[in-house]
Amino acid sequence: MRLTPTLKAVAAVATLVLAATACGSSGSTGSSSGGLNPPDLKAQSKLGKSEGEVNLIAWAGYVEDGSNDPKVNWVSDFEKQTGCQVNSKVAASSDEMVKLMKTGEYDAVSASGDASLRLIASGDAAPVNTSLVPNYKDIFPDLKLQAWNSVKGKAYGIPHGRGANLLMYNTQKVTPAPTSWSAVFDDASKYKGHVTAYDSPIYIADAALYLKATKPELKIKDPYALDQKQFDAAVALLKKQNADIGEYWSDYLKEISAFKSGDSVVGTTWQVIANLTADEGTKIKAFVPKEGSTGWSDTWMISAKAKHPNCAYQWLDWIVSPKVNAQVAEYFGEAPANSKACAETSDKNFCTTYHAADTAYWKNIAFWNTPIQQCLDGRTDVKCVPYAKWVQAWTEIKG
Amino acid sequence: MSLLNRTAGALYRRPRLRLSLLLTAPLLWLAVLYLGSLSVLFVSAFWTTDSFTSEVVKVWSTDNFHELFTVPVYRQVILRSIGVALAVTVLCAVIAFPLAFYTARVAKPRRRPLLVVAILTPLWASYLVKVYAWRLILSQGGLADWMLKPFGLSGPGFGLPATVLTLTYLWLPYMVLPIHTALEQLPANLLDASADLGARAGRTFRSVVLPMVLPSVAAGSIFTFSLSLGDYITVQIVGGKTQLIGNLVYSNIELNLPMAAALGTVPVVVIVVYLLAMRRTGALSSL
């Protein structure tokens, strides 16, 4: 066989890959740090002098200095009052936040529950001394010292706001009105090709939450602590659901447009998306089904390697101060964390719409958490499926 | 002055030194930035990640490639992506050929440049605008549904067919241009000779035009094939729940960089194989 030099090179590389693949499949071990034993870091005991600047990582809409919309600005006043120049970097996903925090160039981050535990475990986030954040006392008690923002009673951040993942449906096309998540799982075939779901591995928890209510024999206690059997059941349910899905959404403009055109008629959503879709004139309704729901709660955390910790602490206090917390919650579309923020919103019904102070409402919400090998629900006789496996399973579910 | 003179003299006496000085910078650019990054991609595919913190652990392992070959979903997605790229290429060729034949040989010579410009105009608009326009066209009750309604049909909706359709639209100009150029350069006396020898239009097309234009079709197909294989945005917007290689790379890039790198080598290998196949047709010399 005559081969050209390029072809030879390709063949050589291919052979090499095949040979290497064949003989080394099980020879490696990634170091796994299962179990949550965060490095013993000390929280700051008192505030020092301002460093003159602070570097933040945030979700879009959390750190607004008027450059997107001149009327939306809560950074300039902070800079004037504290003398800390704010440099912010918008992250598009929890994974990007984790990655940016590892660089050590940032002082604080607005982490969701699916990132916060990872930051704590890897020692990238430091414990937070809540007595240095005067506004912490007004934070809703059911947000303090929760599984996603504390470890063994030690706070690792200041709660910023929260939201639930709701079931949204088109009231003209979906009848009778659904009351349960079965509308997107067991009964989804009724709207085949028009069902939508959130495009992220964390959505597996939504399936687990549904199974918790409908398949008691699986004994699911916490949708973020699934052993292999429970996890497989959730994945199987989602694979079945995939046949009925029209499209998954991660960009919320995409979901609005799909509901508007009728390409999606039922699926998960956030309150802010429901409001915007309704504003566009689409007849929709969004609610928490009888099984309860998953949700997210964001936490401002401080980097263990912060170069400007004093400014970072001042930022944490500023962002949860009643007025600013109300502003950011209204702009982003989430329930504020500060109980006094409800008096400061421009729309007086805002806190009612978003159930900010409704403790009973939040009791039914399982907030995003990072699945780790050591089961978060306290079981010690089994190993739970870690998040990396969730990611892989999500790819397989989508097929 | 004397130093400058001496340098100039030395350079004049050593043509090889002159040449190497001239070529060092562009070659370095090619080697370091292009081939270098490709090899970094390939090497990092052999690393692993910490399952909890997603940090890259520089432990040599072939697990990623092993998974690539054994996990069914990866094989499925790879085959689907290649299928999409081939379908787009074939569709583009089928549509582009008559179009180019018209612009290059049938239309009045005065109008030809204008027609070429018209074919190129979609390239002036932003990629995203065009894809979102297709999302509107293909959505429920959109233009496609409305136009097909009188025939009792409905549009394809979002999914794989919509992806192929949109990508075909996006990359069509890249196929039309090389074919147009080849047809334009086709000597008229060959066609005359063919006719003089008694060949009808069909025979002339098969025996004279097609063999001479085929390398250009192959050249155009390199563009349509490689652009489709690497695309992951169109499929997110009009593909419904479809995943292509690009989507898998994207979803792995933050959490499992080595796996993303392993997936990323797949299109590189596929395109190298495709280029080698196309080289036999002489396509590379007619680019």
Local confidence band at A4 (pLDDT 50, 70, 90 cut-offs):
very low
**Residues in A 46-105 with any Cβ partner in B closer than 8 A:** 93, 95-96, 98-99, 102
Q: Which of B53, B140, B243 sits opposite A263 (nearest CB)?
A: B140
Question: Which among A123, A152, A163, A210 is positioned nearest to A374, based on CA atoms?
Answer: A152
Class of A53-161+298-357 in CATH: alpha beta
Domain range for B278 is 63-286
Does B31 reside within a domain?
yes
**Residues in A 170-229 with any Cβ partner in B closer than 8 A:** 193
Produce one character per residue of A68-105: b if its CB has 16 or more CB atoms within 10 Å, e if not: eeeebebbeebeeebebbbebeebebbbbbbbbbbeee
**Residues in B 202-261 with any Cβ partner in A closer than 8 A:** 237, 239-241, 243, 248, 251-252, 254-256
Residue of chain A whose alpha carbon sits nearest to that of B270 = A10
pLDDT, tens digit (0-9, with 9 covering 90-100), for A23-61? 333 333 333 334 467 788 888 888 888 999 999 999 988
Same-domain status, B6 and B68: no
Q: How far apart are CA A320 and CA A307, in angstroms?
A: 22
Local confidence band at B53 (pLDDT 50, 70, 90 cut-offs):
low
Q: Is the peptide bond before A176 cis (omega within 30 degrees of 0)?
A: yes
Residue A43 has what pLDDT? 85
Residue A6 has what pLDDT? 43
Q: Is A383 on the interface with B (CB under 8 A)?
A: no
Q: Is A257 on the interface with B (CB under 8 A)?
A: yes
Residue B283 has what pLDDT? 67
Q: Looking at beta carbons, which residues of chain A come within 8 Å of B140?
A: 261-263
User: What is the number of other CB atoms lying within 10 angstroms of the CB of residue A250?
Assistant: 12
Q: Please state, for a pLDDT cut of 90, what percent of chain A lies above it.
A: 66
Find out whether A88 and A78 touch, Cβ atoms under 8 Å. Answer: no
Same-domain status, B169 and B77: yes
Same-domain status, B26 and B73: no
Q: Looking at beta carbons, which residues of chain A come within 8 Å of B271?
A: none
Q: How far apart are CA B109 and CA B272, in angstroms?
A: 38
Does B23 reside within a domain?
yes
State the average pLDDT for chain A. Answer: 87
Same fold, A53-161+298-357 and A166-269+373-398: yes
Residue of chain A whose alpha carbon sits nearest to that of B241 = A247
Find out whether A299 and A160 touch, Cβ atoms under 8 Å. Answer: yes
Same-domain status, B149 and B28: no
Find out whether B63 and A388 touch, Cβ atoms under 8 Å. Answer: no
- Whether pLDDT at B51 is above 70: no
Q: Do A21 and B66 touch (CB under 8 A)?
A: yes
Residue A109 has what pLDDT? 96
Q: Give the distance from residue B208's alpha carbon to the nearest chain A alpha carbon, in angstroms.
A: 30
Q: How far apart are CA A305 and CA A52, in angstroms?
A: 17
Domain parsing of chain A, residue ranges: 53-161+298-357, 166-269+373-398
Same-domain status, B72 and B204: yes
Largest CA distance in chain A: 82
Residue of chain A whose alpha carbon sits nearest to that of B56 = A30
State the average pLDDT for chain B. Answer: 89
Q: Looking at beta carbons, which residues of chain A come within 8 Å of B252?
A: 391, 395
Does residue A59 sit in helix, strand or coil? coil
Does B133 reside within a domain?
yes
Q: Please state, for a pLDDT cut of 70, what percent of chain A lies above it.
A: 91
Same-domain status, B95 and B204: yes
Structure tokens of A378? 């306290």
Residue A291 has what pLDDT? 94
Q: What is the value of pTM for the model shown?
A: 0.81
Residue A27 has what pLDDT? 33
Question: Which among A50, A88, A33, A40 is positioned nearest to A66, based on CA atoms?
Answer: A88
Q: Is B6 on the interface with A (CB under 8 A)?
A: no
Phi and psi at residue A109, in whole multiples of 5°? -145, 145
User: What is the number of other CB atoms lying within 10 angstroms of the CB of residue B62?
Assistant: 23
What average pLDDT does range A372-394 have in this prediction?
88
Handedness of CA B97, B99, B102, B104 (dihedral sign): negative
Q: Looking at beta carbons, which residues of chain B come within 8 Å of A242?
A: 241
Domain A166-269+373-398: homologous superfamily in CATH: Periplasmic binding protein-like II (3.40.190.10)
How far is C-alpha A277 from the chain's CA centre? Answer: 22
Q: Which of B59, B139, B273 sits opposite A263 (nearest CB)?
A: B139
- Residue B242 maps to which CATH number? 1.10.3720.10
Q: Give the distance from residue A82's alpha carbon to the nearest chain B alpha carbon, in angstroms.
A: 34
What average pLDDT does range A229-236 have in this prediction?
96
Same-domain status, B27 and B71: no
Phi and psi at residue A148, in whole multiples of 5°? -95, -5
Residue of chain B whose alpha carbon sits nearest to that of A28 = B61
What average pLDDT does range A76-94 have in this prediction?
92
Ranking A99-103, A161-165, A207-211, B220-224 by mean pLDDT, the lowest is: A99-103
Q: Looking at beta carbons, which residues of chain A come within 8 Å of B48?
A: 28, 30
Q: Is B62 on the interface with A (CB under 8 A)?
A: yes
Q: How many CA atoms lie within 13 A of B84 on its CB side?
A: 33
Same-domain status, B209 and B240: yes
Does B57 reside within a domain?
no
The helix (run of H) or strand (run of E) holding residue A56 is: strand A53-58
Residue of chain B whose alpha carbon sits nearest to that of A253 = B237
Same-domain status, B32 and B68: no
- Whether pLDDT at A391 is above 50: yes
* DSSP 8-state assignment for residue B146: H
Q: How far apart are CA B95 and CA A252, in angstroms?
A: 36
pLDDT, tens digit (0-9, with 9 covering 90-100), for A293-318? 999 999 999 999 999 999 999 999 99
Q: Is A254 on the interface with B (CB under 8 A)?
A: yes
Q: Which of A6, A7, A31 sits opposite B50 (nearest CB)?
A: A31
ipTM over 0.90: no
Structure tokens of A251? 């960009």
Give residues with Cβ within 8 angstroms of B185, minimum separation 6: none
- Whether pLDDT at A8 is above 70: no
pLDDT, tens digit (0-9, with 9 covering 90-100), for A192-213? 999 999 998 999 999 999 999 9
Q: Do A118 and B54 touch (CB under 8 A)?
A: yes
pLDDT, tens digit (0-9, with 9 covering 90-100), for B57-109? 888 888 889 988 898 999 999 999 999 999 999 999 999 999 999 999 888 98
Residue B287 has what pLDDT? 58
How far is C-alpha B3 from the chain's CA centre? Answer: 51
Does residue A241 sit in helix, strand or coil? helix
Phi and psi at residue A95, in whole multiples of 5°? -65, -35
Give residues with Cβ within 8 angstroms of A103, minimum separation 6: none
Q: Give the distance from residue A363's alpha carbon to the nearest chain B alpha carbon, in angstroms.
A: 28
DSSP state string for B174-212: HHHHHHHHHHHHS-HHHHHHHHHTT--HHHHIIIIIHHH
Same-domain status, B144 and B23: no
Helix-strand-coil split of chain A, %, nearest 5? 40, 20, 40
Question: Residues A82, A83, A85, CA angle at the centre, nearest 5°?
Answer: 115
Q: How far apart are CA A146 and CA A256, in angstroms?
A: 32
- Whether pLDDT at B41 is above 90: no
Question: Which among A332, A399, A339, A285 is positioned nearest to A143, based on CA atoms?
Answer: A339
Find out whether B69 and A21 touch, Cβ atoms under 8 Å. Answer: yes
Sheet holding A166-170, edge to edge: A245-249, A195-198, A266-269, A166-170, A284-287
Question: Which among A56, A58, A60 is positioned nearest to A79, based on CA atoms?
Answer: A56
- Whether pLDDT at A117 is above 90: no
Does B178 reside within a domain?
yes
Q: Which of A31, A373, A387 sits opposite B57 (nearest CB)?
A: A31
**Chains A, B: CB contacts under 8 A, how many?**
130
Residue A136 has what pLDDT? 95
Residue A393 CB-density burial (10 A; 0-12 exposed, 13-18 middle, 19+ buried):
buried
Same-domain status, B37 and B108: no
How far is C-alpha B158 from the chain's CA centre? Answer: 22
Q: Do B52 and A372 touch (CB under 8 A)?
A: yes
What average pLDDT does range B251-278 have in this prediction?
89
- Whether pLDDT at A15 is above 80: no
Question: Which among A375, A355, A328 is positioned nearest to A60, based on CA atoms?
Answer: A328
User: What is the total count of domains within chain B?
Assistant: 2
- Whether pLDDT at B278 is above 60: yes
Residue of chain A whose alpha carbon sits nearest to that of B276 = A7
Q: Do A261 and B55 touch (CB under 8 A)?
A: no
pLDDT, tens digit (0-9, with 9 covering 90-100), for A317-371? 999 999 999 999 998 889 999 999 999 999 999 999 899 999 999 999 999 998 8
- Whether pLDDT at B124 is above 80: yes
Tokens 């945030």 correspond to A58
pLDDT, tens digit (0-9, with 9 covering 90-100), for B1-36? 678 888 888 888 888 888 888 888 888 888 888 888
